């Protein structure tokens, strides 16, 4: 099963490289939106520091949503999805590889760029590693939740709008704990509980979301 996962991971990485425009679009959206807020809010440092965690996390969620409608769309169009679901190999392995690659090309760049943009919000340097760490810990959960929404809305007219309506409410706890950890650090309060809840949410999503995706994809191809 490990060999199958690695083979699917290589396939999905090759496909992601071919469609790198979508990846650059999501990252560009994140950078532009995060940069716009200080111009709209003003130069007040305390106010910028207060809104920084929420702005970064909400923008990261919206950036991940940009590429989600096409997560399974190409495989559905060319018949690959049906063949993979009918293959003797567990479909959950392929889904997990696809979601992992989506996170690698969307969530990881966002987490790496976030500390670079944090200077616009006058965040202390000692908080920047925590900001990147919470994004690395929380964005996999956002991607897995989004994958379920992408599978449920696959082939549906106006699926992108429906996908956002499904995913955004489910992502609220991740946003609360992710932004809350940074806010706690800024206030000098322990943020261990926030990180623990982010980690528990990620483990639960990894264990359950791929199976939900497979069930939704089987419905989509029927």
- Residue 1, pLDDT > 70, answer no
Q: Is the pLDDT of residue 203 over 90?
A: yes
Q: For all residues of the chain together, what is the average pLDDT? A: 87
195 CB-near residues (< 8 Å, 6+ apart):
133, 134, 137, 181
Q: Is the pLDDT of residue 179 over 70?
A: yes
| pLDDT recorded at residue 160 | 78
The answer to pTM > 0.85 is: yes
| Per-residue pLDDT reduced to its tens digit, 60-91 | 999 988 888 888 887 787 777 888 788 777 88
Distances (CA, A) of 94 to 65, 70, 119, 173, 210: 21, 16, 39, 27, 9
- Return the DSSP state at 122: T
Distance CA 196, CA 91 (A): 30
């Amino acid at each position: 099963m490990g060999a199958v996962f690695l083979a699917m991971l290589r396939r999905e990485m090759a496909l992601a490289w071919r469609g790198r425009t979508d990846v650059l679009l999501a990252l560009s959206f994140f950078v532009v939106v995060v940069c716009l807020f200080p111009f709209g809010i003003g130069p007040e440092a305390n106010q910028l520091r207060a809104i920084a965690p929420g702005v970064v996390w909400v923008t990261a969620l919206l950036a991940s949503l940009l590429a989600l409608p096409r997560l399974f769309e190409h495989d559905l169009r060319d018949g690959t999805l049906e063949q993979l679901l009918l293959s003797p190999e567990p479909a959950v392995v392929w889904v997990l590889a696809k979601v992992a690659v989506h996170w690698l090309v969307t969530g990881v760049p966002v987490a790496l760029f976030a500390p670079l943009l944090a200077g616009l919000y006058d965040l202390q340097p000692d908080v920047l590693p925590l900001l990147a760490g919470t994004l690395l810990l929380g964005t996999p959960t956002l991607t897995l939740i989004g994958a379920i929404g992408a599978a449920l809305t696959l082939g549906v007219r106006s699926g992108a709008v429906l996908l956002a309506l499904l995913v955004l409410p489910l992502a609220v706890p991740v946003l609360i704990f992710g932004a809350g950890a940074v806010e706690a650090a800024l206030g000098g309060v322990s943020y261990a509980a926030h990180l623990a809840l982010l980690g528990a949410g990620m483990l639960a999503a990894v264990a359950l979301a791929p199976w939900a995706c497979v069930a939704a994809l089987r419905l989509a191809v029927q």
